[in-house]
Structure formats: C-alpha cells, structure tokens
Structure 1
C-alpha cells in the first residue's frame, strides 16, 4: 500500500478531499450562536427530547464487559439503561426497569449477572436476553403473558472499541449514523486495540456544549496554553477540515514554522510534560537528532529534514518496534493530532498510538449551567503490557481535587469562567471567527436536531 492510498492522505492540499478555510465560503455556517442554548432550562428540555433521546452516544468501552453476564449501567439525565454481555457473547441494552412495577434492576455502576437479572422488589427474573423467565407465585399471579413482558430493549452497537447506545426505539443503524467515511478514516488507528490509561468523570460548572466548543478550535491556544507554542502554532492557512452530515474532523500540522531548529527540538523534548505518552518516542527522536550535531554542539538539518519529520520517523520506528501495526497511517498521522467531533458529545484527538477523548452530558439535575464531563486517554500497546497500564474509572466528588495534565487542567479551569459570562442577560449571542468553523458546523447540527430535521 502506498502512502497516497491511505485514508490519512486527506490532509494533503492536493488530495481534493480536505478543505482549507479559504474553501469554506462566507455564510456556509451561522457564525452568531445564541447564548440561550447554554443557559435556558426550556432549551435544555428540548435538547433532552430531540437530541439525547434520539442520538447514538458512547456508553463505555467494550473491554469493560469481557465475560458473560458482565453488565454496566448507563445514565443520561433521568433515564437509565443496562448493557450486558449475553451467553452468545453479544452486547445488548435494556431499559433499566422491571416490567412489573418499574423497579430499577441494576442500581450499581457495574456488576455480573451470569444467571440473569432478578428484581429485588417482587422477584421477577429475566435472562441475559431480557426475556421474562420467572414470576413470584406464578400460579396465583393471574394472566401474565411472559412474551409481552420482556425487558424493553434499546439499540446497542460497537465501533472502535466503544459501546454506543441509542434510546430511540426507531434508531437508524450505528454504521449509517457514523457514515462510511468516518469508519474508513478512523480504522487505521486501531482504536479497538487501545487500552484505557486515564478515565475521569466529574461535574463541571458549565453547559455541556461549552465543553464541546472548547475542544473544537485551536484559536484559544495562545491565551490558555502558551506552553504549547513551542511545538504547535495553529496556522489557519495549513489547517484542513472535513465536514460530514453530523460529524467533522480537523487537523493542523504539529510544528512551529519559522522557529529555530534548536527551539523546535526543545519543544519536542518537552512534549511529555503535556502528552505523557510521548515519553517512549523521545529516546529514538534524540538518536535521530544526534546525527546532525555539529562539533560546537549546535544542530543543523540539511534540506528536507525538520524536527517534525524526525518526530514522525521516531514515532513510526518506536511503535513498529513494539510490534504494533501502524502501516495504514501516513507520516503526518505519526505527529499530528486529528480532532474528531462525533455528534452529540464526543471529541477525540488521535494520532499514531494514542487518543484523548472528551465527552460531556447534561447534569442529571437539569441545570443547564452544569454538566458532567468525562475525560479519558487510550494507548495502543503490546498485549503483554496492556494490563500494566490499564486503569478504571475515577469519580471525582470534590471539585478541583483531581489534577489533570497541564493543557487539560487549563481548559478545566477556563470553562466555568465562560459559563459565568454567558449567563449575562444582555449577551444574546457569541460571535465566532473563521478559525472556529468547526464550532459553527457543530451548532448547525444542533439546530437541525432541534428543528426536527434529524
């Protein structure tokens, strides 16, 4: 397979696929976003019915439920569902309520029900396929039709190692919801083989869409993440975009054009401070750089060699040396984080060997000024090392008690500040700039859902 045939080639300007800002004409998307969608309870109630009760959403990782009978509870607002692995190894989802009097079946976060589910209220029992199997004192219970009282099933499917759930009884297949382009572009990253190395969830004092907006643009890097400027400067002229029916992807080259060679090398050597997974790549990067040391200790690269290219070379060498398959990824994907938005609430930066995911859902109490954010990181590791790095979920009860890696901590502290400003009555809209076109596209999808078009 040549590099030009790889899905990641879309970022090349001559590919004819990706868009630059100059290709997105004025008026393509609404750049004035009304602020009531972040603060209004009425708007949040409409979102509940038209987005959260109808859209596919990620409910966990497949490897959370490895054994027959393993189950987990998934909650969205006041709705509760249970996802379980059946005897046939298939994952199924059900409304988390007994068909008798509605008692919740699974009140914990996870568990195992190898023998099926038993309602603790009146001891009705169900098998792992959701079929009603037993009724207490059945001979006296009257006309209970077991075939009509099975658990209410909800659509569950998987992609990239993630479990997706859709509360809508008439949900379209997940493959159609994602679309073939999304599936093909993400396939070479081996998401399904990645291991969870960070998994944190906590309440944050902002609307769930403030979280989504924060990660859909790089315009804020200069103000919030100045430490990244040594390795990444978002150049609107080189950023590339793809917009799908509901979803999108954007990428900017991971480099600082015009910076001295020494500064670029220094920036890459400091990457582990913000991106811990790069620790494994740095030794090989240093070996490659050493070839170009001059006697006075300075570094001079010949034409065609840059710190970015050496980082790409080092990343491919390191991952391949670990026995990992990165053959389907381009050199750009060795260094450049592609930012994916899967509607409604999934943002992921992904490059060879790792991805970082941000998700946000409305707070269960219905307050539009609060949400639950869920941040996680995944690494592509040799199978023999996976368990040593795998972590479980951390639920943060005390705000501010968990310290994220530097860039993420900076976003965590910024988002509530934005929500405070959005609550001012006279501020009736936000004014986006062209570099925030992903936010504009995202809210166009929100608008279509709220209008009943999707």
Structure 2
C-alpha cells in the first residue's frame, strides 16, 4: 500500500486522480446545477453489527418501524394505464392491489378478503377487472372498494356494507412512479424526499419514459446485502472493470 499523508476521516482520495466534480467542470457543455452540487457528510466508519442481517428479532423491528411507515415504489403508471387495471405488490407479510379506479385516481387496497383473509388476487399477477371477487367464498368488492356482494348475506346481518369497504394504503404518483405508504400520517413524497432530490428527479423527466422490459430474480440474501451491493462502487474495479476505463 502507498503511504498517504495524514487526512481527516472521509477526506481520502485516489492519488493523482481528478475528482468527479473536476471532471464535470471540464465538460465543454456546462452541466446543470444539480449535477455540480455536493453534499458530502462523513457518517462514520464503525463496524456494523452482523445481527441486523440474520436476526429474526431485528427483521421484526425493521418491518414494524420501516416497511410499514415508509414510501415505497410499487409499480409504474404504465403497469395500470386504464381504469380497472391492477397490479399486485407484495412487501413482507402484506399484499396490495394497486388499481386505477378513475382516469386520474389510483388506489392501493390491502389484497385480502375481509371475510377470511384470502388474497383477492394472487401474488405476482396483474390484469384488468371490474370487481374483486374472493376465490374462496365469493365475497365481492367493486372497483371503488365498496362491498358489492356477501355470499349468503342473510347469514351476516351484522355486516354493514359501509363498514366493509376495502382498506387502503396511502398513494402518490411521482414522475410516473406509483408509491404507497401504509402510514396515513406520512408526509407527502416531496417533503419526504427533500428539495435537492426532487430537483434531481424533475431534471430527468422520468414521467416521459416507460418500462421496456421487467426482469426479476429472487436472491437468497438479506435485502440490505443486496441493496448495498448495488449502491457501492468499491466492487466495480474488480467485478466490472469494463465499465470503469482509466488511462
């Protein structure tokens, strides 16, 4: 290893190599301001406890405090372009029917029959429907979430239709992406993401793009390990040298 001068934590740089901002500054076409901005903050270098990757108790807390309270990308608008189109999105133990109920209205119903909890639509499916009918006992809901039919309704005098509407998660569409949040007290996406991120997002005009193909794969690993592998660039030098040319 090459000896380096004593630096404050987070200030180390590749010897004799230009920074990303220096490279951008040399471009003959000026880059937009959001590309030229920096907001680096050293967040520490302490070891991370490994139990967060395998401990069932940590996973339980994570589900209760993260997934049930955060905005998450469920599908794109082009997945459900027409009224009646739906897309099933699963996260942990929850399943949602992302449905276009009006031309400019998208809802996310909990994908469970209110009678016995059977999924109204199978995981991994999409399609178009004018109603959501339970495949077990036949209870049926209209596209707007109202109860349409209870099999042998005479035996359920306690069921009030107005109290048996399909429960919903919070929904917001941003740049063509459909996000949901189980926490109805969650702040709007614009506030959640912050002004800087929103300026980046708006600059790309992603609402004018569409998905050409969709590829998915089940990886036998904790979700954080998978996400970290895609977010960090340290492995690129060895694993993907073809995308990191240098002189």
Query: What interval of TM-score do these two structures reach, taking the shorter chain for normalisation?
Result: 0.7 to 0.9
Aligned length: 216
1: CA distance, partners of 2:31 / 2:143: 39
- Given that 2:34 and 2:199 are in contact with CA atoms closer than 8 Å, whether structure 1 keeps it comes out as no
Q: Which residue of 2 aligns with 1:134?
A: 149
Per-residue displacement from partner, 1:147-198 (whole Å, max 9, x unpaired)? 1111011112111211111122433322322223322221121111112234
Deviation at 1:7, TM superposition (A): 9.0
Q: Which residue of 2 aligns with 1:10?
A: 34
Deviation at 1:103, TM superposition (A): 2.1
- Given that 2:82 and 2:103 are in contact with CA atoms closer than 8 Å, whether structure 1 keeps it comes out as no
- Structure 2 residue 180 is matched with structure 1 residue 165: yes
- Structure 2 residue 43 is matched with structure 1 residue 29: yes
Higher RCO (CA < 8 A, seq sep 6+): 1
- Structure 2 residue 208 is matched with structure 1 residue 188: no
Per-residue displacement from partner, 1:76-134 (whole Å, max 9, x unpaired)? 112111111113441100111112222221125112112x2122333222111111122
- Given that 2:132 and 2:141 are in contact with CA atoms closer than 8 Å, whether structure 1 keeps it comes out as yes
Deviation at 1:142, TM superposition (A): 1.1
Helix, strand or coil at the partner of 2:32: helix
Deviation at 1:73, TM superposition (A): 0.8
Distance 1:105 1:9, change over 3 A: same
- Structure 2 residue 120 is matched with structure 1 residue 105: yes
1:40-51 → structure 2 map (5 Å cutoff)? 40-51=55-66
2: CA distance, partners of 1:123 / 1:177: 40
Normalized against structure 2, the TM-score is what?
0.79
Which of 65, 76, 100 is the matching residue for 1:61?
Answer: 76
Deviation at 1:199, TM superposition (A): 1.8
- Given that 2:77 and 2:178 are in contact with CA atoms closer than 8 Å, whether structure 1 keeps it comes out as yes
- Structure 2 residue 211 is matched with structure 1 residue 178: no
1: CA distance, partners of 2:31 / 2:187: 25
- Given that 1:68 and 1:89 are in contact with CA atoms closer than 8 Å, whether structure 2 keeps it comes out as no
Gapped regions of structure 2 (runs ≥ 5): 1-29
Deviation at 1:218, TM superposition (A): 2.1
- Given that 2:86 and 2:129 are in contact with CA atoms closer than 8 Å, whether structure 1 keeps it comes out as yes
Q: Identify, as 1 or 2, the structure richer in helix.
A: 1
Helix, strand or coil at the partner of 1:101: coil
Deviation at 1:56, TM superposition (A): 0.9
Per-residue displacement from partner, 1:387-409 (whole Å, max 9, x unpaired)? xxxxxxxxxxxxxxxxxxxxxxx
- Given that 2:53 and 2:222 are in contact with CA atoms closer than 8 Å, whether structure 1 keeps it comes out as yes
Gapped regions of structure 1 (runs ≥ 5): 1-5, 231-255, 260-454
Q: Which residue of 1 aligns with 2:14?
A: none
Helix, strand or coil at the partner of 1:202: coil
Normalized against structure 1, the TM-score is what?
0.45
1: CA distance, partners of 2:193 / 2:172: 12
Deviation at 1:46, TM superposition (A): 1.4
Q: Which residue of 2 aligns with 1:443?
A: none
Distance 1:187 1:147, change over 3 A: same
- Given that 1:58 and 1:163 are in contact with CA atoms closer than 8 Å, whether structure 2 keeps it comes out as yes
1: CA distance, partners of 2:102 / 2:201: 30
Moved over 4 A (4+): none
